[in-house]
Amino acid sequence: MTLIQFLEELADTERAITIPANEVERLVERFGDRVRRMGRWNASGDGSLEIPVCVIREAATQLGAHSLTEAVRELKTGQFTKMLETSSAVSLIEKVTEAYHRHFRDLMNRYQSAKDRDEATQLRDQLVREIFGE
């Protein structure tokens, strides 16, 4: 991957990952309903959870390398501290949720302040997808 390709990937705010319904439910059983607030939960559809990559990137950066490594271990192995609220995985889930809310507010602000009609249409369509799904 070239530097330009990497930077383009970092700048892509529309790309998202989709967590399948069975994985969402497994995470909800372990970490509670907070999991569903990390992105757009397709509650009336297939039950999947869609999270923008930029949101996950921001949350991972805020968490820091050591805590992120610990969170990944907890998510993979099913092991986490007895004090669930101090778990690195829970911290990651909360950071993703916070970053998703900031992402949504930023999208809304950009839509409201858009001067260009085409940009406003694109942002409106993005907001509609975020709220109602595809």
Condensed to tens digits (0 to 9), the pLDDT of residues 19-29 reads 999 999 989 98
How many C-beta neighbours within 10 Å does residue 60 have?
A: 18
CA gap 87, 67 in Å, rounded: 9
| Residue % of the chain over a pLDDT of 70 | 93
pLDDT, residue 40, reads 92
| Residue % of the chain over a pLDDT of 90 | 46
Token reading at 107:
């999208």
Mean pLDDT in residue range 108-133: 90
Q: Does residue 134 or residue 34 have the better pLDDT?
A: 34
Query: Which has the closest alpha carbon to 47: 25, 31, 15?
Result: 25
pLDDT, residue 82, reads 45
The mean of the pLDDT values for the chain is 86
Q: Does residue 126 or residue 85 have the better pLDDT?
A: 126
pLDDT, residue 10, reads 72
Condensed to tens digits (0 to 9), the pLDDT of residues 34-67 reads 999 999 998 888 999 999 988 998 999 998 888 8
CB 113 within 8 A of CB 132: no
Token reading at 20:
């399948």
Q: At 52, which helix (H) or strand (E)?
A: strand 49-52
At 79, the pLDDT band (50, 70, 90 cuts) reads low
